[in-house]
Chain A
Amino acid sequence: MNNDISMKTHGLPVGVRRAIAYIVLIFFSFLCLIWFYILLINSTRSHQEMTLGFTLLPSTHLLDNWTSLVNGTIPIANGFLNSIIVSGCTAVLCTYFSAMTAYAINTYRFKGRTAIATFILAIMMIPGQVTALGFLQLINKMGMDDSIVPLIIPAIASPVTYFYLKQYMESNLPLSLVEAARIDGSGEFRTFNTIIFPLIKPAISVQMIFAFVGSWNNYFTPALILHTDTKKTLPVLIAQLRGADWLRFDMGQIYIMIAASIFPVIVIYLILSKYIVGGVSAGAVKG
Chain B
Amino acid sequence: MDKKQSNGNVVKFNRWGYIFLIPFFVVYVIFSLIPLVTTIYNSFFENYRSGLKQIGPNFVGIANYFKLLGTPEIWKYLGNTLIMWIGGFIPQIVVALLLAYWFSDPSLRLKGQRFFKTVIYMPNLIMASAFAMLFFALFSASGPVNQILTSIGVFAEPYKFFDHIASARMLIMFMNFLMWFGNTTILLMAGMLGIDTALYEAAEVDGATATQIFFKITMPILRPIFIYVLITSLIGGLQMYDVPQIMTNGAGTPVDSTTTVIMLLNRHLTSKNVGMGGALSVFLFFVTGILSLVVFRINSRSEN
Contact = CB atoms under 8 A, between A and B. Distances in A.
Contacts of A78: none
A269 interface: yes
Nearest to A137: B38
A66 B107 CA distance: 50
Interface centre among B36, B114, B144, B249 (most CB of A within 10 A): B144
Interface in A83-118: 97-98, 100-101, 103-105, 107-110, 113, 116, 118
Of the four ranges (under 10, 10 to 19, 20 to 34, 35 or more), the interface on chain A belongs to 35 or more
Given A131-B36, A192-B20, A286 B178 contact: no
A128 B126 CA distance: 20
B269 A258 contact: no
Contacts of A176: none
A29 B224 CA distance: 28
Contact of B133 (A163, A254, A281): A254
Given A6-B211, A216-B127, A129 B239 contact: yes
Contacts of B211: 3, 6-7, 10
Interface stretch (A68-76, A152-160, A197-205): A152-160
Interface stretch (B74-82, B179-187, B198-206): B179-187
Given A138-B35, A258-B134, A100 B23 contact: yes
Given A125-B295, A154-B27, A242-B249, A224 B187 contact: no
A59 interface: no
Nearest to A274: B114
Majority-rule SS of A interface residues: helix
A243 B249 contact: yes
A269 B296 contact: no
A11 B125 CA distance: 38
Contacts of B241: 129, 219-220
Interface in B98-120: 98-99, 102, 107-110, 114-120
Contacts of A180: none
A285 interface: yes
B298 interface: yes
B270 to A, nearest CB: 7
Interface string A246-287: 000001001100100110011001100110110011101111
A235 B245 CA distance: 12
A14 interface: yes
A24 interface: yes
A274 B102 CA distance: 20
B173 interface: no
A133 B274 contact: yes
Interface residues of B, number: 118
A176 B137 CA distance: 58
Interface in B74-102: 94-95, 97-99, 102
A256 B172 CA distance: 23
B189 interface: yes
B197 interface: no
Interface string A115-143: 01010111111111111111111100000
Given A1-B94, A32-B120, A132-B281, A286 B126 contact: no
A149 to B, nearest CB: 11
A57 interface: no
Contacts of A110: 14-15, 17-18
Contact of A33 (B119, B225, B262): B119
Contacts of B23: 97, 100-101, 156-157
Given A38-B144, A120-B24, A234-B127, 12 more contacts: A6-B210, A17-B108, A21-B108, A25-B116, A122-B293, A130-B288, A134-B35, A217-B127, A219-B128, A235-B242, A258-B133, A285-B228
20 contacts: A29-B119, A42-B137, A101-B24, A104-B17, A121-B299, A130-B36, A130-B39, A133-B38, A133-B39, A133-B42, A133-B278, A134-B42, A154-B27, A156-B27, A217-B125, A238-B130, A238-B133, A258-B133, A280-B187, A286-B302
Interface of B: 10, 13-21, 23-25, 27-28, 30-32, 34-39, 42, 94-95, 97-99, 102, 107-110, 114-123, 125-131, 133-138, 142, 144, 147-148, 151, 178, 181-183, 186-187, 189-191, 194, 209-211, 214, 221-225, 228, 232, 235, 238-239, 241-242, 245-247, 249, 262, 265-266, 268-270, 274, 277-278, 281-282, 284-285, 288-289, 291-293, 295-296, 298-300, 302-303
Interface of A: 1-3, 5-7, 9-11, 14, 17-18, 21-22, 24-25, 28-29, 31-33, 35, 38-39, 42, 50-51, 53-54, 97-98, 100-101, 103-105, 107-110, 113, 116, 118, 120-138, 150, 153-154, 156-157, 162-163, 182, 188, 192, 213, 216-217, 219-220, 224, 234-235, 238-239, 241-243, 251, 254-255, 258, 261-262, 265-266, 269-270, 273-274, 276-277, 280-282, 284-287
